[in-house]
Amino acid sequence: MEQNSPEGGSVSSKTDSGGEGGGGLFYLDIQPSPDQSGLDINGIKPEPLCDYGSGNGFFPYCSFTNGDTSPSESMTELDHLVQIISKSHLETCQYLREELQQMSWQNFLQDEVQSYQSKPREVMWQLCAVKITEAIQYVVEFAKRIDGFMDLCQNDQIVLLKAGSLEVVLVRMCRVFDSQHNTVYFDGKFAGPDVFRALGCDDLITSVFDFAKSLCSLHLMEDELALFSAFVLLSADRSWLQEKLQVEKLQQKTELALQHVLQKNHRGDTVMNKLRCKVAALRSLCSRHSEKLTAFRTVYPDVVRTHFPPLYKELFGADLEVTPQADD
Ligand code: HC3
């Protein structure tokens, strides 16, 4: 499960997309992936790519086959979308559930917890920034594999990723969250909120853990999680979008596919309504995250500038110059 740090950072295309929300990024690689059958993000090798066809237990209620391995002729457009997005999700989800289960949900020991707690604040921030950036790189790859995403203009791809990638990381968190013990898979073992005390933002950490617990309580299946992630990413109400209508169309299609899969899984409208509420919760968490980062950067500008992953700084606007205050 050990992965390379994304900090080695291959420089990607510089975009020149004008709009204030998405212009001039170096590290957000939105070039089409050369090989869609595998994933290699800045040297991060993926978890094993499985054959996600029928009969592997992942999509027990999906009807995109007729019981044999070839796609059904009567496959609807929505079923097709479900299939594509679910496959993309599973290929880019960073950790397979079976692998985590094999790890027997090993928690950090008390002395390990103490060792995280006694780290200097800036060291813990840097560690978390690296972990979040790694997770975001998988989300970027997921986005690139969503039908229609790469057809959006470059500005809008960047706007959607800047606004939505952390939200999807938080959605994905429920896959590696143990509700019973209130722990999340972090840095090789399962960590409770106390592991993050050195960050100095207990309120945010508690809210993030509460969010994961509440999302877990919906017991979403992988296909539902995949479509919800795509739905969050394709939010048409983000500021600075240039072709809002096109994003709106994609989001509507994804919403229909999500409703379709929820119906198929016999989940009814209740889950869909609960998921709609989660969208607002995600926005609030991410804006609180930005506030914490701004406060941290004010105190430790050099740590952010020299030790944080470039992609992290780019996505969260932490690469912008801090305006010097006038003396008088
Ligand atoms: C623990 C974590 C949130 C969850 C992140 C997860 C587990 C989400 C699912 C991904 O597949 C893998 C993953 C990677 C990083 C994990 C995050 C690291 C730190 C973050 C905490 C809630 C702390 C937030 C720290 C802050 C305020 C600096 O952003």
Question: Quick one: the chain helix, strand, coil %, rounded to 5?
Answer: 55, 5, 40
Torsion angle in degrees (nearest 10) through CA of 172, 176, 177, 178: 150
Does the residue 50 lie in any domain? Answer: no
pLDDT for the residue 323: 57
**Cβ of 225 less than 6 Å from ligand 1:** no
Query: Does 82 score more than 80 pLDDT?
Result: yes
Tally the domains of the chain. 1
pLDDT for the residue 113: 98
pLDDT for the residue 104: 67
**Res. 321 pLDDT band, cuts 50 70 90:** low
Closest atom of ligand 1 to CA, residue 201: 27
Ligand 1 centroid to Cα of residue 237, in Å, is 25
In the numeric block, which tokens belong to residue 282?
Answer: 């995600």
Closest atom of ligand 1 to CA, residue 134: 14
Query: Tokens 């499985």 identify what position?
Result: 50
Enumerate residues 6+ apart whose C-beta is below 8 A from 193. 182, 202, 205, 206, 209
Residue closest via CA to ligand 1's atom 19 equals: 128
**Res. 123 pLDDT band, cuts 50 70 90:** very high
Average of per-residue pLDDT values in the chain: 81
**Cβ of 94 less than 6 Å from ligand 1:** yes
Query: Does 193 score more than 70 pLDDT?
Result: yes
| Mean pLDDT along residues 302-321 | 89
SS3 at position 130: helix
Whole-number Å distance between alpha carbons of 43 and 154: 24
**Amino acid residing at 292:** K
- Domain containing 282 — which CATH number? 1.10.565.10
pLDDT for the residue 168: 98
Does the residue 224 lie in any domain? Answer: yes
Within its chain, how far is the Cα of 23 from the centroid? 21
Enumerate residues 6+ apart whose C-beta is below 8 A from 33. 39, 141, 144, 145
Residue 21's CB is within 10 A of a number of other CB atoms, namely 18
Query: Does 205 score more than 70 pLDDT?
Result: yes
Query: Does 73 score more than 80 pLDDT?
Result: no
Does the residue 279 lie in any domain? Answer: yes
Helix (H) or strand (E) holding 86: helix 77-91
pLDDT for the residue 268: 74
In the numeric block, which tokens belong to residue 258?
Answer: 């999500």
Ligand 1 centroid to Cα of residue 131, in Å, is 6
Does the residue 211 lie in any domain? Answer: yes
**Cβ of 288 less than 6 Å from ligand 1:** no
Per DSSP, 54 falls in state: T
Whole-number Å distance between alpha carbons of 45 and 58: 22
Whole-number Å distance between alpha carbons of 153 and 158: 9
Residue closest via CA to ligand 1's atom 4 equals: 173
Q: Which of 121, 132, 141, 194 to mutate to test the pocket of ligand 1 (most atoms within 8 A of CB)?
A: 132
**Cβ of 262 less than 6 Å from ligand 1:** no
Whole-number Å distance between alpha carbons of 79 and 64: 6
Digit-coded pLDDT (tens) for 57-68: 222 222 333 333
pLDDT for the residue 267: 85
Closest atom of ligand 1 to CA, residue 124: 28
**Cβ of 254 less than 6 Å from ligand 1:** no
**Cβ of 208 less than 6 Å from ligand 1:** yes
**Cβ of 199 less than 6 Å from ligand 1:** yes
Ligand 1 centroid to Cα of residue 57, in Å, is 28
Residue closest via CA to ligand 1's atom 22 equals: 205
> The domain containing residue 210 runs over which residues?
85-316
Does the residue 9 lie in any domain? Answer: no
pTM: 0.82
| 107 burial level (CB within 10 Å; 0-12, 13-18, 19+) | middle
The dihedrals phi and psi of 92, each to the nearest 5 degrees, come to -125, 20
Does the residue 4 lie in any domain? Answer: no
**Amino acid residing at 59:** F
**Cβ of 163 less than 6 Å from ligand 1:** no
Query: Does 53 score more than 50 pLDDT?
Result: no
Ligand 1 centroid to Cα of residue 258, in Å, is 25
| Mean pLDDT along residues 160-186 | 96
Task: Please check whether residue 6 is in contact with residue 309, taking contact to mean a CB–CB distance below 8 angstroms.
Answer: yes
Q: Report CA-CA distances (Å) from 267 to 126, 246, 252, 274, 290.
A: 40, 29, 19, 11, 34
pLDDT for the residue 18: 36
Does the residue 158 lie in any domain? Answer: yes
**Res. 55 pLDDT band, cuts 50 70 90:** very low
Does the residue 32 lie in any domain? Answer: no
Ligand 1 centroid to Cα of residue 37, in Å, is 27
Digit-coded pLDDT (tens) for 237-289: 999 999 999 999 999 999 999 999 999 988 878 999 999 999 999 999 999 99
Whole-number Å distance between alpha carbons of 50 and 118: 40
